[in-house]
Amino acid sequence: MQENAKNALKIVELLEEEYPAALCSLDYGKDYELLFATRLAAQCTDERVNQVTPTLFSRYPTLQALAEAKIEDVEEIIRSCGFFHTKARDIVNASIMLLRDYGGVVPDSMEELLKLPGVGRKTANIILGDVYRKPAVVTDTHCIRLANRMGLAVGKDPYKVEMQLAEIIPPEKQSDFCHRLVLHGRAVCSARKAACERCCLSEVCARKL
């Protein structure tokens, strides 16, 4: 574990040099907008979500407006994101719950976030990391794929990968580390082919060792 943690710190350092701006790839202005954008991103690309959310949030500019929206109207706006029936229902019902139970503020704990309709650990961790700057490991497909390739985690179960990474990535680095994995996964280490010849991690990646 000690050696793996040491290697993880080097990977964190190299990714920081390669991708100085560790920004979330979803566009948002308010905490609940990130919550719902992340919900829409399930089995959909962030690029597509960013095309849809401006219309959604301009049509319903407040949490109250979303809570009062007709689900079928929200469905039409988000249809291209896939699974639009479930996602629209979750967005409207979560808006109602946020207003009723949390004073219109997205909660700042894993326990409370998981009570919201459609919110799993991945979405909760994005909120904890990006909105509240708390330690949070977001195990999306990029994170799971790269963590396994680099030898930082074993297995494809999101929760187990999250726990493995949480042990070896410094808490204050976790959220930005996951954003950088997304950037690296798209630019260099894609699912189809890892471009090891131009990878900044080639000297420390288990794939090359």
Render pLDDT for 46-94 as a digit per residue (tens, 0 to 9): 999 999 999 999 999 999 999 999 999 999 999 999 999 999 999 999 9
CA–CA separation, 197 and 188 (whole Å): 9
Proportion of the chain above pLDDT 70, given as a percent: 97
pLDDT, mean over the chain: 94
Supply the pLDDT for residue 6. 84
Q: CATH classification of 2-23+136-198 is 3.40.50.620, yes or no?
A: no
Domain boundary assignment for the chain: 2-23+136-198, 31-131
* Alpha-carbon dihedral sign for residues 177, 183, 187, 190: positive
| Structure letter (DSSP) for residue 198 | G
Given pLDDT bands bounded at 50, 70 and 90, which one contains residue 134? Answer: very high
Average pLDDT over residues 102-122: 97
What pLDDT, in 10s, does the model give residues 164-188?
999 999 999 999 999 999 999 999 9
The CATH T-level fold of domain 31-131 is: Endonuclease III; domain 1 (1.10.340)
Going through the chain in order, the beta strands assigned E by DSSP cover: none
Write out the catalytic residue numbers.
122, 140
Type and span of the H or E element at 75: helix 71-78
What pLDDT, in 10s, does the model give residues 33-43?
999 999 999 99
Q: What are phi and psi of 194, to 5 degrees?
A: -90, 120
Given pLDDT bands bounded at 50, 70 and 90, which one contains residue 208? Answer: low
